[in-house]
Structure 1
Amino acid sequence: MRANYGVGTMRRLIFDHALLPDGWADRVALTIADGWIEKIEPDATGDGERIAGIALPGMPDLHSHAFQRGMAGLAETRGPASDSFWTWRQVMYRFLDRLTPESVEAISAYAMMQMVEGGFTALAEFHYLHHGPDGQPYADRAELSARIAAAAQASGIGLTLLPVFYAHGGFGGLPPTEGQRRFVNDLDGFARLLEGAGKALTALPDARLGLAPHSLRAATPEEITALAGMVPDGPVHIHIAEQMQEVESCLAWSGRRPVEWLLENQQVDGRWCLVHATHLLPAETTAMAASGAVAGLCPLTEANLGDGIFDGVNYLAQGGRYGIGSDSNIELDAPGELKMLEYSQRLRDRGRNLMVRGQEGASTGRALYDAALDGGAQALGRRIGALAAGHRADIVVLDANHPDIALARGDRWLDSYIFVAGKSAIDRVIVGGEILVEGGRHRARDALAARYRAALDGLRG
C-alpha cells in the first residue's frame, strides 16, 4: 500500500542532475507538497534529501490491458494454420474465461508494479473485462473496475481508468461472439458501470476517469457519438486500424478506411487517443496529425502480434503527437518501447535516427523521450510528464554510475538509457513524491509477486 505522508506534507529532494523543461541542470532541488511539485531550484543550496543520480520525468503508459500480463508467453506456440492477431485473440479469450475478481486484481497489481520498475509512473488502463465468466454483470457492475483501482493503489502507479464500451462482434452492429460475453454492455448498462468506476477512483490520489469505445467494429456510429458525451472533459481512447483485416472490413462496411471514417464522422480532437493506427494512407496520416489527437503506439506488442509498423516518420514530420503504451504487457519496459519504435522505422526505411525533428546533431533518445512524455500526458489527461511546478512529482532516477551511462552527459544519458542500458539503469522511481523503487526493486515486489503466483496457480488448478 502507499505510504500516507498526510495533508500538508512537504519534502525537498535534491538531485545531482535533472531534465527540466528548458534542458539539463545540476544540483536540482524539488520542493514537493502532497505529491505535487511546488518549486524547482537549479544549482540549489541548503538542506534536503539528497538523491544521487539523473532525474527524468516519469514516463506515462498510455495503453494497457493489465490482465493480459498473466497470459504472457501462452501464445508463442505455432498453430496448425498461419498465426496472426486473430489466432492470438482466441488464446486470450480462453485465458480470460477463468479469471476471477481476485485474480484480475493480483495480476494487474503485479503488472503495474513491473511498469513502475520499468520506468512508467502513470497508466491509462483500457479496461474491457467487466462481467463474470457467464457474461452476467456482477452485483456491483463496476466490480472489476474497482479491482483495477485497488491494483493501482497497491503498486503506487498513477491511474487514468478507461472503462471500455463493447457491444458488437463486427462492423455494422454484428452480434458479439461467445468469447466476448464478459465485455458486452448496452449504453444504459455502461453508464451505470462508468458511474461505479468513478466512485472506485475516489480513494486514489489524482486519478482520472475517461472512457473508450473499444473499436469501430465493437461500437456503432450512434453509440460512439453517445459515448463521447458521457465524460465531457475526460480522455477518449479507441483501438483503430491495427490490422489489415480490420481495414478491409471497414471498407466493405462504410467505403472508408477506419481512421478516415473516424475523422470524418466524429469530433476528434486533443482528448482523443487513436491506439495503434498502424495502417494509414498518407492522407490519413496528414489528417490525424492535424486533428491534435495522440497516436497510441505500443511497439513491443505490435511486433509480437505482427500488426505492422506505424508511419512514424511522416506523422512526426507533420507535427503529429504520440505516446507509448505496454498493451499486452509481454514486456514492461519504457526505454524498450522507445527503442523498438525507432528500430521499427529503421528496418522499414533502411535508415538511422529517423524519429527526430531538428537539425543535424540532435539526440534521438531525447527526441523520443520528450515526444512520448508530451503525448502520454495529453492522452492520460493529467498534469504529468515534466519536472515543473504544478506537475505531479513522478520521477525516474538513473544510476549515474551504471557502466553504460557513466561516461555520458546531457542528452547522451538518454541515448545510452534507451539504446544501450535500458531499464537496468533505473535506480529509483518516485510517484507522487513517494519513493516506490530503490536499487531497481519495487518496495512491494515480494508481496505482489507472491499474490501473482498464487493467482496463476489458481487458474491452472
Structure 2
Amino acid sequence: MASAQKTGDRNLFFDRLLLNGGWARNVRLTVSSGVIATIESNAAAQPDEERHGCGLPGMPNLHSHAFQRGMAGLAERRGPSGDSFWTWREVMYRFLDRMTPDDVRAIASLAYLEMLEGGFTRVGEFHYLHHDRGGQAYADPAEMSRAIVDAAATSGIGLTLLPVLYSYAGFGAQSPQPAQMRFIMDIDRYARLIDAADAASRDLPDAIVGVAPHSLRAVSPEQLDALGGIGANRPVHIHIAEQVKEVDDCLAWSGQRPVEWLLNHAAVDDRWCLVHATHMTPAETAALAGTGAVAGLCPITEANLGDGLFPAEAFLAAGGRYGVGSDSNVLIDASEELRLLEYGQRLMRRGRNMLAGGEGRSTGADIYAASVDGGAAALGVTGGLAVGAAADIVSLDLGHPSLAGKRDDELLDAYIFAAGRSALDGVWRRGEQVVSRGRHKDRAAIVAGYVATLERLTA
C-alpha cells in the first residue's frame, strides 16, 4: 500500500535505489519541500507514480571555478619553455580580464548545466573573481557572487558558495601582481563580502555560504586567524600543496611544508576541505587524515595541469576522507573524475583496484560512496539518500549496453569504468527533474547564452 501523501508532496519510485544503507528494491521516496520525507522499500508501484529503473545519490562537486569553463581548450598550446600550472595561470589571468558579471553568469550557467548532466547535483563554488575589470570594488560587494547565485538558480544545481580571501601574491605577504587585482581584498572587506553573500543567496533553496582562504601563499597567518570568527560553523576550504614549487616556497618562508604548517597553526577539523593536498610526506598524510578534514581531489584538472598524484592509499589506510571536484572545468564529468582517480593510483602503484575497501569489494561502489560522503561533508550538507536529505538523485539507463546483465555494485563498476556519463538518464534536484534522457531541460537557452558570451570574449 502506498504511504499517505500530504498535499504538495510527490512520490518517486525506483526499481532499485542505492540508499545510505545499501541497495534496496522497489523503493518509494516521498519528497516534501525538496527533502526526502519517507522511504518505503519492497513497495508496490502505483499506476500514477513516476517509475524509474535504477537510482543513485547525486554526486557533490566540492571544488569548482565556474568561470574557467570558458577557457577550456585555450591553454593547450606549448610554450617556449616547460609548461606548468604557473604558465597555465597566465593564460587564465588574460582570459578573465574582460569578464563582466553577466559574462560570469552565462559561463557559470553552462558549467552548472554540464555538472547536472554529468552526475553532479551540488557544487562548491570557490569564487575569487570579486571586482570590476579595473580592480575596483563594486558598490555591492557580492555583485559577482550574485552572478554565481543566479547561475545556480537558472540551472537548478545546489550551491555551497565559497567566497575567497585572496590578499597577496606569495608567501610572506608579497605584494599582489597587477593581474590579480580583481581578486584582492583585506580581511575587513572580506567580512563584508561574506555578509553580502549570505544576503545574495538567501532565496536560493538550501544554499550555504562558507569561507575560503585561497592558499597559504595568498593570505597571511594573521588573516587565517581572523577567519576563525568570520567562518564560525561554516565550511572552510583552502588550496594547499598542489605544486612542488608551492611546497618549496613554503619551506623557504617558514621552514615547514604547507600541510605541516597549516596543521600546526590552524584548528583544522571536519569542517575543512584541503583542496589537492597532492604533495605530502607520510607524516603529513596521516596527520591530515586524523583531523577529519576532507581531501578535495580534482583528478581531471590535476592531470591537465601536471600537478601530480595524491597519496590515496596511505591516506585511506589512516582513515582519511575524500571527495571530488571539477576545479578548472576543462571537462565536467563525475564518472571521469572517479575513473581517473582510481586509474591514477593504478599507474602510480602499478596495481589494480587500489581504492576498494578490501578483498571482494567493488572499486566503483567504494569510490562512489566515499566521494558522496566526503563531498557532502565538505559542502556542509547531509550526503546520500536518507530521510531528511535533499532528494538529489541520478538515474542510470539500464538499457545502456555496458550495463546489460549488471546488478547492484556491478552497475557502479560498469558506470564508472565502462559506460561513463552516456549511461546517465535522469537527474533530480530536490525532487524536481532537471535532466531527462541525458539533457538539461533548459539546455538550448543556456547554451545560446554561453556561445554569445564566448564569441564576444574571444573576439
TM-score w.r.t. the length of structure 1 is 0.97
Aligned position for 2:154: 154
> Helix, strand or coil for the counterpart of 1:138?
coil
Aligned position for 1:4: none
Matches within 5 A, 1:71-90: 71-90=71-90
> Helix, strand or coil for the counterpart of 2:135?
coil
> Helix, strand or coil for the counterpart of 2:401?
coil
State whether residues 8 and 33 of structure 1, in contact with CA within 8 Å, keep that contact through their aligned partners in structure 2.
Answer: no
State whether residues 13 and 50 of structure 1, in contact with CA within 8 Å, keep that contact through their aligned partners in structure 2.
Answer: yes
Matches within 5 A, 1:304-383: 304-358=304-358, 360-383=359-382
Q: What CA distance in whole angstroms lies between the structure 1 residues aligned with 2:377 and 2:445?
A: 33
1:418, distance to aligned residue in structure 2 (A) = 0.3
Q: RMSD across aligned C-alpha pairs, in angstroms? A: 1.0
Q: What CA distance in whole angstroms lies between the structure 1 residues aligned with 2:86 and 2:263?
A: 26
Aligned position for 2:3: none
Matches within 5 A, 1:261-300: 261-300=261-300
1:115 aligns with 2:115: yes
Deviations 1:141-198 (A, max 9, x none): 1100000000000000000000000000000101110110000001111111111111
State whether residues 27 and 43 of structure 2, in contact with CA within 8 Å, keep that contact through their aligned partners in structure 1.
Answer: yes
1:8, distance to aligned residue in structure 2 (A) = 6.1
The code of the aligned residue for 1:398 comes to L
Q: What CA distance in whole angstroms lies between the structure 1 residues aligned with 2:192 and 2:318?
A: 40
Q: What CA distance in whole angstroms lies between the structure 1 residues aligned with 2:53 and 2:146?
A: 36
Aligned position for 2:420: 422
Aligned position for 1:439: 437
Aligned position for 1:70: 70
Q: What CA distance in whole angstroms lies between the structure 1 residues aligned with 2:39 and 2:351?
A: 39
Aligned position for 2:165: 165
Matches within 5 A, 1:196-207: 196-207=196-207
The code of the aligned residue for 1:23 comes to G
1:228, distance to aligned residue in structure 2 (A) = 2.6
Aligned position for 1:389: 387
1:460, distance to aligned residue in structure 2 (A) = 2.5
State whether residues 113 and 155 of structure 2, in contact with CA within 8 Å, keep that contact through their aligned partners in structure 1.
Answer: yes
Aligned position for 1:195: 195
Aligned position for 2:230: 230
Q: What CA distance in whole angstroms lies between the structure 2 residues aligned with 1:345 and 1:285?
A: 15
Deviates more, 1:170-179 or 1:43-52: 43-52
State whether residues 365 and 414 of structure 1, in contact with CA within 8 Å, keep that contact through their aligned partners in structure 2.
Answer: yes
Aligned length, in residue pairs: 453
Deviations 1:325-370 (A, max 9, x none): 0000011100100000000000001000001222x21000001000
Alignment counterpart, residue 410 of structure 1, candidates 408, 411, 426: 408
State whether residues 8 and 34 of structure 1, in contact with CA within 8 Å, keep that contact through their aligned partners in structure 2.
Answer: no
Deviations 1:173-230 (A, max 9, x none): 0111011000000111111111111111011000001010000000001101111320
The percentage of aligned residue pairs carrying the same residue is 59
The code of the aligned residue for 2:428 comes to I
1:52, distance to aligned residue in structure 2 (A) = 2.1
1:129 aligns with 2:129: yes
The code of the aligned residue for 1:37 comes to I
Deviates more, 1:238-247 or 1:51-60: 51-60
Deviates more, 1:108-117 or 1:39-48: 39-48
| Residues 87, 13 of structure 1: alpha-carbon distance in 2 compared, 3 angstrom cutoff | same
1:51, distance to aligned residue in structure 2 (A) = 2.5
State whether residues 273 and 295 of structure 1, in contact with CA within 8 Å, keep that contact through their aligned partners in structure 2.
Answer: yes
Deviations 1:87-133 (A, max 9, x none): 00000000000101110000000000000000000010000000011
Q: What CA distance in whole angstroms lies between the structure 2 residues aligned with 1:263 and 1:433?
A: 40
1:46, distance to aligned residue in structure 2 (A) = 5.0
1:386, distance to aligned residue in structure 2 (A) = 1.3
Deviations 1:214-262 (A, max 9, x none): 0000000110111132021110000000000000000000000000000
1:73, distance to aligned residue in structure 2 (A) = 0.4
State whether residues 335 and 421 of structure 2, in contact with CA within 8 Å, keep that contact through their aligned partners in structure 1.
Answer: yes
> Helix, strand or coil for the counterpart of 1:382?
coil
Aligned position for 2:446: 448
1:399, distance to aligned residue in structure 2 (A) = 0.6
Aligned position for 2:36: 37
State whether residues 278 and 310 of structure 2, in contact with CA within 8 Å, keep that contact through their aligned partners in structure 1.
Answer: yes
State whether residues 225 and 266 of structure 2, in contact with CA within 8 Å, keep that contact through their aligned partners in structure 1.
Answer: yes
The code of the aligned residue for 2:377 comes to Q
> Helix, strand or coil for the counterpart of 1:404?
helix
1:315, distance to aligned residue in structure 2 (A) = 0.4
Q: What CA distance in whole angstroms lies between the structure 1 residues aligned with 2:256 and 2:37?
A: 48
State whether residues 125 and 159 of structure 2, in contact with CA within 8 Å, keep that contact through their aligned partners in structure 1.
Answer: yes
> Helix, strand or coil for the counterpart of 2:230?
coil
Deviates more, 1:147-156 or 1:227-236: 227-236
Structure 1 unaligned spans of 5+: 1-6
Q: What CA distance in whole angstroms lies between the structure 2 residues aligned with 1:52 and 1:60?
A: 22
Q: What CA distance in whole angstroms lies between the structure 1 residues aligned with 2:32 and 2:248?
A: 52
> Helix, strand or coil for the counterpart of 2:151?
helix
The code of the aligned residue for 2:375 comes to G
Aligned position for 1:143: 143
Q: What CA distance in whole angstroms lies between the structure 1 residues aligned with 2:455 and 2:53?
A: 39
Q: What CA distance in whole angstroms lies between the structure 1 residues aligned with 2:136 and 2:253?
A: 30
> Helix, strand or coil for the counterpart of 1:229?
helix
